[in-house]
């Protein structure tokens, strides 16, 4: 199943820089692992904000929840999820 996931990160302003940097490094490692596995198919930064739009390819809602809640930045995110399905006018074979 494909899902569009929009994530906006809102770190507390009083979080120590060292702590924020550790969380971000762990987040990068985790997200790249999911990308290599094919679970996190696309990742785009939203220009001008600490946010992204991503496409996940997972078995079901439960797997998506597990992956997203495993993100180190999860406690500091506002997240919006939309399920996706193939458009009948699409000319691509790899978007299902």
Q: Which fold has domain 2-84?
A: Alpha-Beta Plaits (3.30.70)
- For the chain, give every domain's residue range: 2-84
For the chain, give the mean pLDDT. Answer: 95
Check whether 88 has a pLDDT greater than 90: no
State how far the Cα of 62 lies from the Cα of 69, in Å rounded to an integer.
Answer: 10
Rounded to two decimals, the pTM is 0.91
pLDDT at 95: 66
Check whether 7 has a pLDDT greater than 70: yes
pLDDT at 6: 98
Instruction: Tell which residue, 5, 3, 9, has the closest CA to residue 78.
Output: 9
State what percent of residues in the chain have pLDDT above 90.
88
């Amino acid at each position: 199943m494909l899902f569009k996931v929009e994530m906006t990160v809102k770190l507390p302003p009083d979080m120590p820089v060292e702590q924020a940097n550790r969380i971000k490094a762990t987040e990068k490692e985790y997200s790249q692992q999911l990308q290599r596995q094919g679970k996190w198919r696309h990742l785009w930064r939203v220009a001008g904000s600490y946010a992204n739009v991503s496409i996940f390819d997972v078995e079901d809602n439960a797997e998506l929840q597990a992956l997203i809640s495993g993100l180190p930045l999860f406690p500091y995110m506002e997240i919006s999820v939309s399920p996706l399905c193939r458009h009948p006018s699409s000319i691509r074979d790899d978007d299902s």
